[in-house]
Amino acid sequence: MNAAKRETFGGRRAAIMAMAGSAIGLGNIWRFPYMVGRNGGAAFIIVYLVAALLLCVPIFLSEGIIGKRAQLSTYGAMDKLAPGTPWKWLGILTFIAPLVIVSYYSVVGGWSIAYQVRALSFAVSDAAMTRAEHSARFGAFITSTWTPLIWHTVFLGVTALVVKFGIRKGIEQFTKTTTPLLFFLVLAIMTYSLTLPGSKAGIDYLLKPDFSKLTGEAMLSAMGQAFFSLSIGVGCILTYASYMKRGENLLATGVGTAIFDLLFALLAGFAIMPAVFAAGIEPDAGPGLIFETLPFIFSSMGQIHPVISHVISILFFTTIVFAALTSSVSMLEAGVAFLVDQKKISRSRATLILFLGCWALGVLCSLSFGPLKDFHILGNTLFDFCDKFSSNFVMTLGGLLFVLFVGWKMKKEDVYDELTCGGRLRYGKVFKPVYFLIRWVAPITIVVIFLSNILIR
């Protein structure tokens, strides 16, 4: 492989924006608030923060070290850094997993576009609609055969288009504009949300911990959520890091991305929960929170401020669509990079092939809410199976293998060299604890999580 021909990101800012774009997604806006709602508010957030810092950042950095050092995606990177060993098979796992995720993820991405279009046509903030009507409408929409498929195709099509244009012209340009925009949008929504009468209960809920709800399972969910939210364990971060220039500061990029991701999840929580409380709704609404409960909140606001509620509903679904797109792009890119690096297929062809494969699996996932709802794999619909297989199983396994590789297989000097750019950046004090986390804390904790996950089920 001629490494000189491989594209790179323009600089550190571009790499952070792309990685933060990957991290910030449906996980932050759709999953995080309802998980917080179900699992004890601030108590859940505390576990989430600890997991993110002690577990996920080390995994993130491990992926980054491998990708940046090898300048190849997972399969080629493993083969280059540990030639002739079975480590390269991790490249196959991390080829399949992001493609499975992007297939079902783009179904929800498609729902978000559908709701954005509805918001634009005033239907989401329609003041005459009751909560039951919003729920019924959402149920009818996702169980129908054709309409969700159209939006799934649009969502995946846009994703593929960005990936087709490559690193600089596609991913960098797209994420450089949309990631900062996401913060602007969520801040605008939060500002409005915090001014609603009765919103204070929502703030208290996010700040006051209820440890009685923090069961073992809730703690596992917090960790799983942190994995999913930081996009780790499936080679996406590794692939993005492989496009970083050699002298780029990895530690700053990793910590910067984690901070952006956490900040965004909290801002999304403060944008959503105060509005939920202001509308007098229970916070544990579950996965329907975004598509059933919030539209009802927009409708109730619509009775008082029709224009504002209309604008906020548009901003809200725009945020979700762009957040989801910057994540799906990173998943498709991980697959495309494998085909380009290893199979020497052109980027356009690789993108087209994977688009078609993911589209087909996504179609089945979408139909698993309607016509295929009785088709079960290990007791789950296809959509749930894909979600559980990738986020519970592959992400943890991938994360474990990445930290083990960096902590035990790579030479300590090489890890130091990569994290400090050959000693140019002086991290003497920070290197030791980071290396300790990678070598000991992260693997042991992951094994414990893994076992308890199997034992609980």
What residues line the site for ligand PHE (CB under 6 A)? 22-23, 25-28, 98, 101, 228-229, 231, 234, 236, 327, 330-331
SS3 38: helix
Indicate the residue among 309 and 328 with the shorter CB distance to ligand PHE: 328
Indicate the residue among 321 and 415 with the shorter CB distance to ligand PHE: 321
Indicate the residue among 22 and 313 with the shorter CB distance to ligand PHE: 22
Q: How far is the CB of 417 from ligand PHE (least distance, A)?
A: 27
- The backbone torsions φ and ψ at residue 286, rounded to the nearest 5 degrees and listed phi first, read 80, -165
Q: Which residues have CB under 8 Å from 195's CB, separation 6+?
A: none
Cα separations (Å) of 426 from 49, 251, 412? 26, 11, 16
Q: Which residues have CB under 8 Å from 175's CB, separation 6+?
A: 14, 17, 18, 20, 21, 326, 329
SS3 71: coil
Q: How far is the CB of 233 from ligand PHE (least distance, A)?
A: 8
**How is 93-157 classified by DSSP, letter by letter?**
HHHHHHHHHHHHHHHHHHHHHHHHHHHHTT-TT-TT--HHHHHHHHHHHHHSSSHHHHHHHHHHH
Helical H runs in 283-427? 293-304, 306-343, 347-367, 382-388, 395-404, 412-420
Indicate the residue among 126 and 333 with the shorter CB distance to ligand PHE: 333
Q: How far is the CB of 27 from ligand PHE (least distance, A)?
A: 2
Contact 351, 140 (CB under 8 A): no
Q: How far is the CB of 234 from ligand PHE (least distance, A)?
A: 5
* Cβ burial, residue 204 (10 Å; 0-12/13-18/19+): middle
Q: How far is the CB of 431 from ligand PHE (least distance, A)?
A: 27
Contact 210, 43 (CB under 8 A): yes
Indicate the residue among 294 and 331 with the shorter CB distance to ligand PHE: 331
Indicate the residue among 341 and 387 with the shorter CB distance to ligand PHE: 387
Contact 96, 285 (CB under 8 A): no
CA gap 34, 47 in Å, rounded: 15
Indicate the residue among 196 and 236 with the shorter CB distance to ligand PHE: 236
Q: How far is the CB of 98 from ligand PHE (least distance, A)?
A: 6
Indicate the residue among 313 and 326 with the shorter CB distance to ligand PHE: 326
Q: How far is the CB of 325 from ligand PHE (least distance, A)?
A: 11
Neighbours of 50 (CB within 10 A): 14
Q: How far is the CB of 347 from ligand PHE (least distance, A)?
A: 19
Indicate the residue among 281 and 358 with the shorter CB distance to ligand PHE: 358
CA gap 20, 156 in Å, rounded: 20
Q: How far is the CB of 20 from ligand PHE (least distance, A)?
A: 10
